[in-house]
Amino acid sequence: MLYLCEVTDVAEGASKRIDLPERPPLAVFHLPTGIFVTDDTCTHGLASLSEGEIDDGAVECPWHQGAFDIATGKPCGAPCTIPLRTHRVVVSDGKVFLEE
């Protein structure tokens, strides 16, 4: 398991970008339904999704306002068509880990 951050680092309704060596940047989202981790880079362009607005379980890309369902990575707003990669997380003792 790979440590990402503390749960308290990401307020509910917010997100945080995590840069780890040797892998694409990740975005940690804190939704009412739990903590979710996806790739941070939009599959349409090169925008950072952790800078996007979170709206009803979806994240809107700050660049062309395309959207993805955070839990599944499914595109849910044009121009996004390629699914976003989602990652399995484990929350333990107030810490967020990536399940590898």
Partner 1 sequence: MHTIRLAGGPAFGCADGDTVLRAGLREGLGLSYECNVGSCGVCKFELVEGAVEDLRPDAPGLSERDRRKGRRLACQSRPTADCVVSMRLDDAVRPPVRPQQRTAVLEAVRPLTQDMSEFTVRTDGAADFLPGQYALLHLSGLGAPRAYSMANTANPEGIWQFIVRRVPNGAGTAALFAMTPGAALSLDAPYGQAYLRPSGRDVVCVAGGSGLAPMLSIARAFAEGPADDRRLTLYYGARTARDVCGAAELAALPGFGTRIRYVPAVSDPDDGFAGRRGFIHTVMAEDLGRRFDNCDIYCAGPPPMTLALEDLLIREAGIPADRLRFDRFF
The answer to whether residue 80 forms part of the interface with ligand FES (CB under 6 A) is yes
The burial class, CB within 10 Å (0-12 / 13-18 / 19+), for 57 is: middle
37 lies in the binding site for partner 1 (CB under 8 A): no
Burial of 75 (0-12, 13-18, 19+ CB in 10 A): buried
Contact 63, 42 (CB under 8 A): yes
Contacting ligand FES within 35-64 (CB under 6 A): 42, 44-45, 47, 61, 63-64
Supply the minimum distance, in Å, between the C-beta of residue 31 and partner 1: 16
Q: Taking CB within 5 to 8 Å according to partner kind, which of partner 1, ligand FES, none is near residue 77?
A: partner 1
Q: For residue 14, what are its two tokens?
A: 């917010």
Which of 10/39 has CB closer to partner 1?
A: 39
Residue 82's binding partner, choosing from ligand FES, partner 1, none, with beta-carbon cut-off 5 to 8 A by kind?
Answer: partner 1
Cβ within 8 Å of residue 21, ≥6 positions away: none
Residues of this chain that bind ligand FES (CB under 6 A)? 42, 44-45, 47, 61, 63-64, 66, 79-80
